Amino acid sequence: MKNFKSLQLLDVFKGLFEKADIDYSTMRRILQVKLTMDGRRTSTVMSQNMGKSKSDSNQFLKSLWFYAFIGLTLVPILFFGENYMFQVSLVLGVFMFLIMTTMISDFSSVLLDVRDQTILGTRPITSKTISASKAVHVTIYLFFVTAAIISIPLIIGTIRHGVLFGLLLVFTILLSNLFIVAITAMLYYLILKFFGGERLRDMINYVQIGLSITIVLGYQVVARAFEFVDLEATFTPEWWTLFLPPVWFSAQFAIVLNGEAGIYYYVLTALALLVPILSFVAYMKILPAYEENLVKLMDQTTKVSKRGRFDLFKRIASFVTRSKEEHAFYHFAEKMLKNERELKLKIYPSLGFAMIFPFVFLYNNYTAAGSFEALGSGRSYLSIYAALMMIPGVVIMLQYSSKSKGAWIYHVSPVTDLTNSIKGTLKALIVRLFLPVYIAVSVIYLVIFGVRILPDLLIVLLVTLTYSAICFKIIKGTLPFSEPFESWSQSDGWKTLPFALLIPVFGLIHFGATLIPFGVWIYLAVTLVVTPLIWKYGLKRSPSS
C-alpha cells in the first residue's frame, strides 16, 4: 500500500500517541487502509464531495478547489479598516460555520460509523486505538478542507498585516478546529450515552437540526457584537460575547496587534486557549466509552405503534394521493425519509437552515424598519421564501439510498405508470419534511403580520409544489432511491445552483403582485391553475425510463 505523505507527517507525533497508550503502529496501518480505500471508492465521509473513481487517486483532494473558492470570498473582509478583532471575528465566523456544517453533514457518518467495531473490534486491538484512528482519519481530511479555505486569506492577510498576523491566524485556526472536533464528538457521546435504538437515531437528527440553527444564529450574533462609528468597527464588551467562540479567538489579535488592554480581552483570550485544549483532553478521556456506546446504533429496535393510533401522515396520504400506485409510493418514500439513517444524516441539517433563514431576513428587516408595528405593516412576510432553499438539495438526494440495489423492484412490480412513483415521492417529501417547517414559520408570521397574509401563505405553498416539481428535473430520469450514495459527485451539488436562483425570482413575482390592486388574488388564481398542470404534465415518466 501507498505510504501517504500525511502518514509520514503523522510519524513525527508518534511519541505523543504512545504516551497516550495508543498502539501507534496498529493505528497507522488502520489509517493506511482507510486512506487507500478512500482512493478506490467513495467513503461515507467523502460522499458529499467525491464521485466514482476507478483510479487509486483520492477524488476528495481534487475537489478542494471548491473550498478554495469559498476562502477567496473571505479576502475582502481583511481590508475592512484596521480593527483586527473585527476582521478575524468575521473570517472565523464564516470559517467555523463552514467547518461545523461539514462536521455535521459529512463527518458525522464517520464519527458514528459502527463498522470499525464489527471489523476491528473482534481483533486484539484496544478501543482507544480504534477511536484514535477514527479521530485522526477525520482530522486528516479536516486539515485539507481547512487549508483549502484559509490558505488564500492567510497569504493575503500576512502580506497586508504582517508575519505576526499570519502566525496568530494559523495558531487560531488550529485551536478552533480542535474545539470543533472535540465539541462535536462530545455532543454525540452525550446522545449515545443517554439514548439507544431508534430513539438514538432520531435524537442525532434533531441535534443536527439544532446545530444548524445554532451556527446560523451564532454568525448573526457575531456580526452584531461590533458597532460602526464613522465606518470604523468598534467592539463593545457585553456579557453575551463570552458565548461567541469567534470573538474568543479574535481577542488575541486585539491585544497583540491593536494594543488593546482590559480584563475582558484577557478573559476572551483565556477562553480561546483553555476551552479547546480542555475539550480535547475530555474527548480523549471518553474515547473508549464513546466507542462502546456506538454499539447502540446497531440496535434495530423500533417503536411499535399502537393499533388504532391516530396517524397524521397516513390521513394526509389519503387526502393528497389520487391512485393506489401513488398512495403506495407515497408510503414507501415516507418510510424511507423516516427510517433510513444515512439519508437523514444528509438532509436533516438543511431543515434547520430552512427554519431559521426566514427569521434571519425578518430580523434584518425589523432592524431597518425600526419598530415592530412598521415591520408588521410591511411586506417582510415574503422572507418566508427563504424556507424553500432546502428543496433543491433534498430533491437531489431523493435519488440516493444505502439500499439502492433494491431498485429492481421498480421494473418487476406491476406498475403501469412510473409517474406515480415521482408524484408519491415528491408529496412525501413535502408533507414529511417541508410542511412542518412551513406550518411552524407560518404560525409565527401570522402572529406578526396578521390574517391579511393568509392568501400570500397559500401562494407560497402552491409555489412550493410547483418549485419542487421543477427541481425534480435535476435528477434527469433517475428513479427515487435507485442510486448509491457513492455516486454522488461534486458536480451534482452545482446542479442545484440554477434551481436555487429561482427562489428570489418567485419572491420578486409575488412582491410585484402585491403592488397592484387585487394582484395577490390574481396571482393566487394563476398558481391554482398552473400548479396542477405542472404536476400533471411535467412529471411524466415512462416505464422504460
pLDDT in tens, 189-217: 777 777 765 566 666 666 666 666 666 66
Q: Is the pLDDT of residue 229 over 50?
A: no
Q: Is the pLDDT of residue 508 over 50?
A: yes
Q: What is the structure's pLDDT at 481?
A: 82
Tens-place pLDDT, residues 12-28: 888 888 887 888 888 88
Range 412-416 average pLDDT: 70
Q: What is the structure's pLDDT at 209?
A: 66
**Residue with more model confidence, 522 or 182:** 522
Q: Is the pLDDT of residue 155 over 80?
A: yes
Q: What is the structure's pLDDT at 52?
A: 42
Answer yes or no: are the C-beta atoms of 140 and 35 closer than 8 Å. yes
Which DSSP category does 483 fall into? Answer: B
Cβ count within 10 A of residue 513 = 19
Q: What is the structure's pLDDT at 46?
A: 38
Cβ count within 10 A of residue 220 = 15
Q: What is the C-alpha separation between 180 and 280, in angstroms, rounded?
A: 9
Question: Of 3-12, 111-120, 340-349, 442-451, which gets the smallest average pLDDT?
Answer: 111-120
Could you identify the residue written with the cell 462536521? Answer: 103
User: Which range among 131-145, 430-444, 481-495 has the greatest average pLDDT?
Assistant: 430-444
* Average pLDDT taken over every residue of the chain: 77
With H, G, I as helix, E, B as strand and everything else as coil, classify residue 311: coil
Q: What is the structure's pLDDT at 299?
A: 60
- pLDDT above 90 coverage of the chain, percent: 13
Range 234-244 average pLDDT: 73
Could you identify the residue written with the cell 471548491? Answer: 66
Q: What is the C-alpha separation between 175 and 354, in angstroms, rounded?
A: 30
pLDDT band at 144 (very low <50, low <70, confident <90, very high): confident
Tens-place pLDDT, residues 53-84: 444 445 555 567 777 887 888 888 888 777 78
| CA dist 406 → 78, 400, 441, 486 (Å) | 52, 12, 37, 16
Which is it for strands 226-229 and 232-235: parallel, antiparallel or unpaired?
antiparallel
Name which of 368, 366, 433 is nearest 395 in CA terms: 433
Backbone dihedral angles phi then psi of residue 96, each to the nearest 5 degrees: -65, -35
Q: What is the C-alpha separation between 92 and 384, in angstroms, rounded?
A: 28
User: Residue 262, by phi and psi: left (phi above 0), alpha (psi -120 to 50) or beta?
Assistant: left
Q: What is the C-alpha separation between 295 and 52, in angstroms, rounded?
A: 30
Q: What is the structure's pLDDT at 231?
A: 43
User: Residue 487, by phi and psi: left (phi above 0), alpha (psi -120 to 50) or beta?
Assistant: alpha
pLDDT band at 230 (very low <50, low <70, confident <90, very high): very low
| CA dist 373 → 320, 457, 515 (Å) | 38, 20, 20
Range 79-91 average pLDDT: 81
Answer yes or no: are the C-beta atoms of 428 and 333 closer than 8 Å. yes
Range 151-176 average pLDDT: 91
Q: What is the structure's pLDDT at 290?
A: 73
Range 142-163 average pLDDT: 89
With H, G, I as helix, E, B as strand and everything else as coil, classify residue 227: strand
- The separation between CA 100 and the C-alpha centre of its own chain, rounded to angstroms, equals 8
Range 490-517 average pLDDT: 82
Name which of 419, 427, 440 is nearest 536 in CA terms: 419
pLDDT band at 107 (very low <50, low <70, confident <90, very high): low
Alpha-carbon Rg of the chain, whole angstroms? 25
Range 15-44 average pLDDT: 75
User: Which range among 50-64, 98-112, 227-241 has the greatest average pLDDT?
Assistant: 98-112
Q: Which residues contact 303 (CB under 8 A, 6 or more apart)?
A: 198, 199
**Residue with more model confidence, 481 or 120:** 481
Q: Is the pLDDT of residue 297 over 70?
A: no
Answer yes or no: are the C-beta atoms of 233 and 213 closer than 8 Å. no
Helix (H) or strand (E) holding 10: helix 5-10
Q: What is the C-alpha separation between 155 and 77, in angstroms, rounded?
A: 14
- pLDDT above 70 coverage of the chain, percent: 75
Q: What is the C-alpha separation between 397 and 399, in angstroms, rounded?
A: 5
Q: Which three cell numbers stand for residue 187?
A: 455532543
* CA geometry: angle 293, 33, 68, nearest 5 deg: 90
Q: Is the pLDDT of residue 41 over 50?
A: no
Backbone dihedral angles phi then psi of residue 483, each to the nearest 5 degrees: -120, 145
Q: What is the structure's pLDDT at 523?
A: 93
Which DSSP category does 400 fall into? Answer: B
Q: What is the structure's pLDDT at 226?
A: 55
Per-domain boundaries in the chain: 1-41, 66-298, 322-537
